[in-house]
Structure 1
Amino acid sequence: MYEYTNFYINGQWVQPATEENTLQVINPATEQPAGVISLGGREDVDKAVAAARAAFPSWSALSRDERIGYLEAIIRGYQNRMEDIAQAITLEMGAPSWLAKAAHGPAGLGHFMQALEILKQYEFEAVRGSSCLRKEPIGVCGMITPWNWPINQIACKVAPALATGCTLVLKPSEVAPFDAMILAEIVHDAGLPPGGFNL
């Protein structure tokens, strides 16, 4: 059974503002508890957004090569945790194990790999006549993701945001949260600067 009762904010696992607000996650295939999580409130969101805002100037100023290095580290960590991600998806949403291993996990990995390949060749600046068109990170991204195909939905938002220099706050579905928690562990182990990714 999973127990994720802390949030990942500013590069560390922190206790929620209200510790007694927890939710039991039910495996829909067995109708048995799969784990417990904390439910966040306004104070938790404010902390996460403040961390992402504080990290944005330095994260957005990183070079393309530096962001490539972080994405490569996330991809390596993701590949190493593929079995854990598949197991989490099976327990949190009742997906058959074979489907979680063959489709769910690889779909999320594919988004990170695609973001990496695009980042390697993306034109952030182009001269058009007498003008220079510069594409810059927009800021802090708030990401709310659904329960179905959870890591796919998460990765298709998180990967391009990090690749383009945006910081983020991720709010996964409370009924399918475990794969997002594992992704936070992967991001942490990849050495992402504090505040770049918050959950």
Structure 2
Amino acid sequence: MTGTLVGHDAHLIGGRWVRSAGEPIPVENPATEQVVGHAPAGTAAEARAALDAAVAAWPAWADTPLEERVALVRRLADLLERDVDELAALIATEVGMPVHLARAAQVGLPIQVLRTTADLAADYPWREPLAAGEVVRVPAGVVVAITPWNMPLHQIAAKIGPALVAGCTVVLKPSEIAPLCAYALVERAVEAGIPPGVLNLVCGTGPVMGETLVRDPRVAVVSLTGSVRSGARVAELAAPTITRVCLELGGKSANVLLDDTALDVAVPAAVQQAFFNSGQACNALTRLIVPSHQQAEVAERLVAAVGALRTGDPFDPSSDLGPLVSARQREAVRDHVRRAAGDGARLLAGGPEAPDGLPVGYYHRPTVVTDVRPESALAREEVFGPVLAVLTHSGDDDAVRLANATDYGLAAGVWSADPARARSVAARLRAGQVKINGARTRDGLDAPFGGFGRSGLGRELGRAGIDEFVETTAVLGGDAIG
């Protein structure tokens, strides 16, 4: 894969590959800094054509029996599983995650999301009896799905899976930074037999392609995963047409170690929870909140755990971390680390310099910063890189206070030898998903995923993920007259 140039100059619109009038956007391999592909910078006219196709296809798709819609989603999952090695290599090439990790996390996860969604659709309350009638849940209509570069296949699956089983048609706009996986997925969707116009793919920039899609009054739901800035812009553009938005945005998630935690287990796991995908994960647990009297021991264990990590070539099976996705992203992460020192924090491991032996590629050292003040930028701003901020607490109440001292609320973690104590603390955290003793999002794909505050609106995954793509009608009465 690393030596292959992948070129795309067309969008999938109404079941046909339509050549774009836009200029090609280069796609870089972040490990080599070489161009490995391109996708078109689509035009506003092409965005409207994709919506035309989705609108035209919607009535027939909405009337398609649920069992047929579910079967096609399952078929798509099967085709992704068939080609898991090819897709993992593509992820490693355009995103930079080590291929041996991408196989499970970047490809296996969306496969399971599609299958879990299909399972849930069978028991979803499409019709629900009431004392005075019934509740009927029907397809919302045309969906615009705008997906990010960091988990490209997963975020597509988390949107199109529930939208398709609900009976919605979709226009998908992937990130122009990593669009190649989206092409791979829709090619398999066509092979699966998803009808023309039901799933459309258009590539391009946010200001042209994205904004044209979001502004269109024919759109029923916009589902975006991205930055807070992007989410705010989507909400602004959707407001005049009262279009529903589902926004999965950033995070500054806390990982709380209570004073009875088994540190030999929790600290290495906390490093993994922070540095998954080189820290480029919205739900990464990037604030480690530890008992003040255990700070020195935790610091010693953190240094050992980070020292055991290997940063390197995504196609090397010994690599734990790959590069960041772009030069711009790496510079932003470096700036956070440099500013932390000015805020009085202490570098415990790593730093902003390039890792030894890696002069080429957008690599960043796995970094731990301690003595972080709660009001500092590193404790409050999303870094989106391999940087872990360590804060200290004086007890359970103080830990909860520090964990909740953020504008975000996507995820959190709690560690304790006492499950009841961990659950008690978890219930007080203002986060959409709380993981106890190392639980992972992928362990509960029937659970809702989304956040409080600046982390977004709405939920993905599980039954809640289907809820985003249906409208609800209360039908009252209906008894025979006379």
Alignment TM-score, normalising by the size of structure 1: 0.96
* Aligned residue in 2 for 1:15: 19
The CA distance in 1 between the partners of 2:96 and 2:121, in whole Å, is 34
Q: Identify unmatched segments of 5+ residues in structure 1.
A: none
- Matched with 2:197 is 195
Q: Which residue of 1 aligns with 2:154?
A: 152
Q: Matched residues in 2 for 1:46 and 1:84: separation?
A: 32
Match of 1:114 among 113, 116, 120: 116
Letter in 2 for 1:140: V
Does residue 183 of structure 1 match 2:185?
yes
Compare 171-180 and 79-88 and name the one that shifted more.
79-88
Q: How does 1:55-66 map to 2 (within 5 A)?
A: 55-66=57-68
Code of the residue aligned with 1:179 in structure 2: it is C
Separation in 1, partners of 2:64, 2:74: 15
For 2:151 and 2:75, the matched residues in 1 are separated by 23
Question: What is the CA–CA distance in structure 1 between the aligned matches of 2:59 and 2:162, rounded to whole Å?
Answer: 17
Of residues 128-137 and 72-81 in structure 1, the stretch that sits farther from structure 2 once superposed is 72-81
1:127 corresponds in structure 2 to 129
The CA RMSD measured in Å over matched residues stands at 1.0
Aligned length: 197
The answer on 1:71 being equivalent to 2:76 is: no
Would you tell me which structure has more helix in proportion to its own residues? 1
Per-residue Cα deviation, 1:122-172 (whole angstroms, up to 9, x for no partner)? 120011111210000000000111111111111100110001110000000
Shift of 1:102: 2.3
Match of 1:30 in 2: 32
- Give secondary structure in 2 for the equivalent of 1:135: strand
| Alpha-carbon distance between aligned partners in 1 of 2:89 and 2:46, rounded to the nearest angstrom | 28
CA distance in 2, matches of 1:116, 1:68: 5
Give the deviation of 1:86 after TM superposition: 0.9
Matches of 1:96 and 1:30, distance apart in 2: 14
Structure with larger RCO (C-alpha < 8 A, sep 6+): 1
How many Å apart are 1:57 and its aligned residue?
A: 0.3
Q: Percent identity?
A: 35
Query: Is 1:6 the counterpart of 2:10 in the alignment?
Result: yes
TM-superposed CA distance for 1:188, in Å, is: 0.2
- 1:167: which partner in 2? 169
Cα distance between partner residues in 2 of 1:197 and 1:113: 18
Counterpart selection for 2:106 from 104, 112, 133: 104
The correspondence for 2:41, drawn from 39, 42, 46, is 39
Instruction: Tell me, in whole angstroms, the C-alpha distance in 2 between the residues paired with 1:11 and 1:85.
Output: 22
Alpha-carbon distance, 1:179 to partner: 0.8
Gaps of 5+ in 2: 202-482
The structure 1 segments of at least 4 consecutive aligned residues displaced by more than 3 Å after TM superposition are none
Task: Look up the SS of the partner of 2:39 in the other structure.
Answer: strand
Separation in 1, partners of 2:181, 2:85: 11
